[in-house]
Structure 1
Amino acid sequence: MTGVPLKHQRISRILAREIRDGRRPAGERLPGEHTLAERFGVSRTTIRAALAELTEQGLITTRTGKGSYVLFDGGPPDDGLGWARTLAVRGLDTTVRTLAVHEIRDAALAAELGLEKDVFVCVERSRELLADATVVSYERSFLPPVPGIRELPVQGLDQGSLTELLLRAGLRPDHGEQRIRGRPVDAREAELLRRTPGDWFLQARRTSRAADGSFVEHVDSLLDPTHFELALPFG
């Protein structure tokens, strides 16, 4: 059928989206071929073809005997969806710090997302430069309290990928939207970001949904405009 992507193309698009939206930061090692084959229900040959596409796009590199690693460090998006995204500064090593994991009620957000229940598991994280511990982003991930997620406030979040955690809980992002605007940070945000209240940051709000339209994740991020920029494809 014309216009229907091949299996490896579909997989490479999913992985590329995870890299471009920051879920797989530069330097992260991708899961092995066997793990990816199990995740997508395909052969390792198909996975190799998908990884080859990501290599051609400059998103990953493969090191013999060690696996595939993310190279993407903020190149402009090229996914044809037209959604806004953030752009990380090139060549800067960063680390992610988990600040809090708790259950909250947010009726306004539930209404905005069209959800009947207003209970979420909220994961708060920041990203810092390894060189000088400058905080360049702060994000809150709002997750549905399904099995595998609702236990997080008690069990805590390990250092693994949040994407992998979602997948283990049966939450598979397929599509969504992202909006970005600039605004001054308030006193609490400034304290978390180690800045001054009123400093301007980019606010990115991204909502991901599964193939059937069900809610997967909502992420509200504050991004230092010195280290991130907005890129919009056109034409």
Structure 2
Amino acid sequence: MTGVRLKHQRITDVLAKEIRSGHRPAGEQLPGEHALAQRFGVSRTTVRAALAELSEAGLIATRTGKGSYVLFDGRPLDDSLGWAHALATQGIDTRVRTLAVDARRDEELARQLTLNTAEFVCVERIRELVADAVVVSYERSFLPPVPGVRDLPARGLGQESLTDVMLRAGLRPDHGEQRVSGRRIDGREAELLRREPGDWFLDTRRTSRAADGSFVEHVVSLLDPDHFQLTLAFG
């Protein structure tokens, strides 16, 4: 176990140095997992661990070469670690207001996600731009009630980052899927978003899973289409 850890940390250090020194300029795409595995003489699992650390450090934004992703004001967002991390990586200054943190039982969601338990911890938040206080998203994060998360309803989130709470609890997203549609917001949503009932918003549903396939997080977000858009990459 120690050997694998040292291997991935060595790769992290080398790539981080290349990025910070300007050897790999901003926006340059890193070689694929297979190429990096060959370069460093390690497994792709070790490479993924290194890339995850670089992503957590805000040095890279990792996403699959094909598929869909979200843009904020024209800038691509890797939201595998949540909107806060994705927006901060792009230098977008936002603040979050936590509306509720509670324990919930949702049989339908558990069925959709093929989970054995219907128990979740739900964190409900809105996000606004610091510059003009425009609310750009309303989010509900459903998390498994693992140690480090299950006590959130009692102690609250406070000033902690939900991403940091998840990582400390061992909830590390490796892969998943995101679905995006559009719909008109209802009265309660309009009040939270400071808009009019019937205004059009993007409705995204992202499910993240760990490398072993276990459930990490399900996020339902309403995104302001004046700032967010969906891009499909193919070919």
TM-score, L = length of structure 2: 0.70
Partner of 2:43: none
Amino acid at match of 1:129: L
Partner of 1:88: 72
Which string of whole-angstrom CA distances, capped at 9 and with x for unpartnered residues, describes residues 19-66 of structure 1?
A: xxxxxxxxxxxxxxxxxxx9x933654222343566636379xxxxxx
For the pair 1:51 / 2:36, whether they are aligned, the reply is: no
Question: What is the Cα deviation at residue 81 of structure 1?
Answer: 4.3
Distance 1:196 1:71 in 2: 38
Question: What is the Cα deviation at residue 163 of structure 1?
Answer: 2.3
Distance 2:203 2:164 in 1: 25
Question: What is the Cα deviation at residue 79 of structure 1?
Answer: 2.8
Distance 1:150 1:59 in 2: 38
Distance 1:130 1:101 in 2: 23
Q: Tell me the percent identity.
A: 60
Partner of 2:210: 210
For the pair 1:197 / 2:197, whether they are aligned, the reply is: yes
Which string of whole-angstrom CA distances, capped at 9 and with x for unpartnered residues, describes residues 199-233 of structure 1?
A: 00001100011122111100001100000110111
Contact 1:103 1:119 in 2 (8 A): yes
Amino acid at match of 1:149: V
Contact 2:16 2:59 in 1 (8 A): no
| Equivalent position SS for 1:42 | helix
| Equivalent position SS for 2:154 | helix
Listed as ranges, the matches of 1:27-176 within 5 Å are: 41-42=5-6, 44-52=9-17, 56=24, 58=26, 70=58, 79-82=64-67, 84-89=68-73, 92-176=92-176
Distance 1:81 1:164 in 2: 28
Distance 1:69 1:59 in 2: 16
After superposition, the Cα gap between the structure-2 partners of 1:227 and 1:51, relative to the gap in structure 1 and judged at 3 Å, is same
Distance 2:59 2:213 in 1: 31
After superposition, the Cα gap between the structure-2 partners of 1:218 and 1:41, relative to the gap in structure 1 and judged at 3 Å, is same
After superposition, the Cα gap between the structure-2 partners of 1:201 and 1:57, relative to the gap in structure 1 and judged at 3 Å, is farther
Unaligned runs of 5+ in 1: 1-37, 61-67
Which string of whole-angstrom CA distances, capped at 9 and with x for unpartnered residues, describes residues 134-167 of structure 1?
A: 1001110000011110000011113333222112
Amino acid at match of 2:108: A
Contact 1:58 1:71 in 2 (8 A): no
Partner of 1:179: 179
Amino acid at match of 1:192: L
Distance 1:201 1:183 in 2: 6
Contact 1:180 1:202 in 2 (8 A): yes
| Equivalent position SS for 1:190 | helix
Partner of 2:86: none
Question: What is the Cα deviation at residue 113 of structure 1?
Answer: 0.3
**How much is the aligned-residue C-alpha RMSD, in angstroms?**
2.8
After superposition, the Cα gap between the structure-2 partners of 1:169 and 1:111, relative to the gap in structure 1 and judged at 3 Å, is same
Which string of whole-angstrom CA distances, capped at 9 and with x for unpartnered residues, describes residues 158-206 of structure 1?
A: 3333222112112221110001111111111111111111100001100
Provide the aligned length of Structure 1 versus Structure 2. 186
TM-score, L = length of structure 1: 0.70
Amino acid at match of 1:119: E
Amino acid at match of 2:71: L
After superposition, the Cα gap between the structure-2 partners of 1:54 and 1:225, relative to the gap in structure 1 and judged at 3 Å, is farther
After superposition, the Cα gap between the structure-2 partners of 1:93 and 1:171, relative to the gap in structure 1 and judged at 3 Å, is closer
